[in-house]
């Protein structure tokens, strides 16, 4: 058996931190210097605000039940399999308006621009192309 292809368990714990309030339960499942992964359970008729979750940019993915996400300008009902992205500092509330428990997984991005900068990959490609150019008789040509 090759050890190079062995599966390595990064962290073996139920959760790193857990906060339980009436009708809600937040569990920090994973964290490093760039991201945190949260599992949030919201019982029927309860809600949780962005200030209780995080101030980071986030992707929220509904795993079970239904969740109503609302901010100052709109509301949207998300069902299992739906996801929503929210910017840093954006205030919102998540409500469980269904008759069963709802669960969301949230991927929180600690460093700015990791989620909401769709042009970042284009800029990186452009920078890479510029660094790979070689001078040829007073002009440059790309080396691909």
pLDDT tens, per residue, the chain with 144 residues: 455 667 655 555 554 677 778 898 988 888 888 888 999 999 999 988 877 777 788 898 999 999 998 888 889 999 999 998 877 777 888 899 889 999 999 998 887 655 544 455 555 555 555 555 545 455 444 544
How many whole angstroms separate alpha carbon 105 and alpha carbon 65?
12
Could you identify the residue written with the tokens 């992964």? 37
CB 55 within 8 A of CB 89: yes
Please report the pLDDT score of residue 87 as a whole number: 79
Which pLDDT score, from 0 to 100, does residue 80 have? 94
| Cβ atoms of residues 83 and 62 within 8 Å | yes
Q: Assess contact for 61 and 83: CB atoms under 8 A.
A: yes
Q: What is the pLDDT of residue 134?
A: 47
State the CATH architecture for 17-118: Sandwich (2.60)
pTM (2 decimals)?
Answer: 0.64
Report how far residue 25's alpha carbon sits from residue 84's, in angstroms, rounded to the nearest whole number.
20
Render the burial of 46-73: b for 16+ CB within 10 Å, e for the rest: bbbebeebbebbbbbbbeebbbbbeeee
pLDDT at res. 64: 94
Q: Which two tokens stand for residue 136?
A: 């040829």
What is the C-alpha separation between 91 and 86, in angstroms, rounded? 9
């Amino acid at each position: 058996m090759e050890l190079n292809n062995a599966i390595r368990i990064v962290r073996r714990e139920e959760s790193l931190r857990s906060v339980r309030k009436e009708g809600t339960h937040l569990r920090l499942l994973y964290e490093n210097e760039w991201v945190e992964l949260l599992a949030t359970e919201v019982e029927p008729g309860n809600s949780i605000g962005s200030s209780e979750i995080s101030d980071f940019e986030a992707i929220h993915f509904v795993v079970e039940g239904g969740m109503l996400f609302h901010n100052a300008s709109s509301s949207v009902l998300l069902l299992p399999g739906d996801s929503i992205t929210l910017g840093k500092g954006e205030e919102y509330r998540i409500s469980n308006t269904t008759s069963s428990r709802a669960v969301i997984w949230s991927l929180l991005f600690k460093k700015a621009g990791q989620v909401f900068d769709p042009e970042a990959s284009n800029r990186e490609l452009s920078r890479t192309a510029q660094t790979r150019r070689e001078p040829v008789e007073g002009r440059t040509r790309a080396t691909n």
